[in-house]
Each structure stands twice: as structure tokens, then as C-alpha cells.
Amino acid sequence: MTYFRKEEKLFSVDDLKEEDIELLDPTLRWWMSEQGQVREEEVRGTKERMRTSIGGDAHDDVYIVARERAGGPPAGVMGFGSLDAHFSPYRSAADAKAVGLLTAFISPDYRGQGLGKVLITEVFHKARTAGCKEIIWSSNPRYRETAWQFYTAMAGNHIGTIDDFFFPGSLSLVWRKSL
């Protein structure tokens, strides 16, 4: 577990636990919405993937959470896992071991307090420790105003764009961070 202090608050970062998944539900529903409509399938799929990641079966995904105090409810979540095949062409070399960034959401109550930076830095560290050379991701255009500048601040300018990844006609940026 890693601790860090922001203003008067003490935060900790550790692995996602089963009981965190339902506690994260309001944050997932808040951000996985369009025009006031929750994207139920996305929320369900994300929670399912989180559940699988902490199950006993072999899996590649790792999720971590930030909490306002050790053992408290999660204030944000991020993870990494096997790279979607659509991102293979964006690797720096054909044999570079790469993973993808998963589910980067901070509760609206905690945005802008440095938790995103702490979580993504820990994701980079864990992926590097797992033997990965780089991490590659994109972001749904619905997050253009809420996340794209954060990603550029954390990884540098995008290295390309990808068409039709999130929905037919979508155009989104691709970031790659060498680990």
C-alpha cells in the first residue's frame, strides 16, 4: 500500500477488492453516461471485467484504487491489461511488450486533487514491474474535455489517432507511454 498526503487529507493506493466494485458503481454511472442516460452495458461490462480480475482464474488485468483513508471507500480506480489488437500497430516495435490502460475514473467529489496522477503513476510502475515496456491507450470522445489534457500531461503528446474504435465514425487520440 502506498500513502500520500494532499492538503489535509491522507490517501492510500492499493489493489481493487471485491467490495470496492459496488462502491465504485456511482462513479462508473456518473462518467459512463451520455445526455443523462447511463450506458448500462458499459457499466455492467466494466464491473464484470473488474470482478474477473480479482477472481482465482488466470487473468491479465490489474486494477488499483485510491482511498481517502486506508480501508475507506474507493475515490478512484485505474487499471491495465492485455492490449486490444487494434492498438498493436501503435507499439514502438513489433516485439515490444505492451499493455493497455483500463477504466480511469475519479469520483466527481475527488477530481483535480492529484489522485489521477498518483493512480496513473502507480499503474505505470506496476506495468513496468510486470515486465511491460510500454502502455498504450485511447479515450472515448465523450471524455475529450475531462481527460484528454490529463493524458497528454501524463504521457506527452498523442502519437496518433484511431478511427471507429469506440463507435462507427469515432475519431480519438492514441497515447503511448514508455515504461
Ligand X SMILES: CC(C)(COP(=O)(O)OP(=O)(O)OC[C@H]1O[C@@H](n2cnc3c(N)ncnc32)[C@H](O)[C@@H]1OP(=O)(O)O)[C@@H](O)C(=O)NCCC(=O)NCCS
Contact between 114 and ligand X by CB under 6 A: the answer reads yes
What whole-number distance in Å separates Cα of residue 59 and Cα of residue 68? 28
Q: How far is the CB of 155 from ligand X (least distance, A)?
A: 11
Q: How far is the CB of 93 from ligand X (least distance, A)?
A: 25
Q: How far is the CB of 103 from ligand X (least distance, A)?
A: 8
Contact between 157 and ligand X by CB under 6 A: the answer reads no
Considering only residues 27 through 66, tell me which ones interact with ligand X, judged by CB under 6 A: 31
Q: Residues near 46 by Cβ (< 8 Å), separated by ≥ 6?
A: 28, 32, 103
Size of the site for ligand X (CB under 6 A): 18
Contact between 9 and ligand X by CB under 6 A: the answer reads no
Contact between 162 and ligand X by CB under 6 A: the answer reads no
Residue in the structure block whose three cell numbers are 474535455: 145
Q: Is 112 left (phi over 0), alpha (psi -120 to 50) or beta?
A: left
Please work out, in degrees rounded to the nearest 5, the angle formed at the alpha carbon of residue 154 by the alpha carbons of 94 and 3: 115
Going from the C-alpha of 102 to that of each of 4, 9, 46, 156, the distances in angstroms are 22, 26, 9, 18
Contact between 166 and ligand X by CB under 6 A: the answer reads no
Contact between 5 and ligand X by CB under 6 A: the answer reads no
Q: How far is the CB of 47 from ligand X (least distance, A)?
A: 16
Contact between 115 and ligand X by CB under 6 A: the answer reads yes
**In this chain, which of 117, 125, 156, 160 binds ligand X, going by CB under 6 A?**
117
Burial grade of 118 (CB within 10 A; 0-12, 13-18, 19 or more): buried
Q: Which residues bind ligand X (CB under 6 A)?
A: 31, 104-106, 111-117, 139, 143, 146-147, 149-150, 153
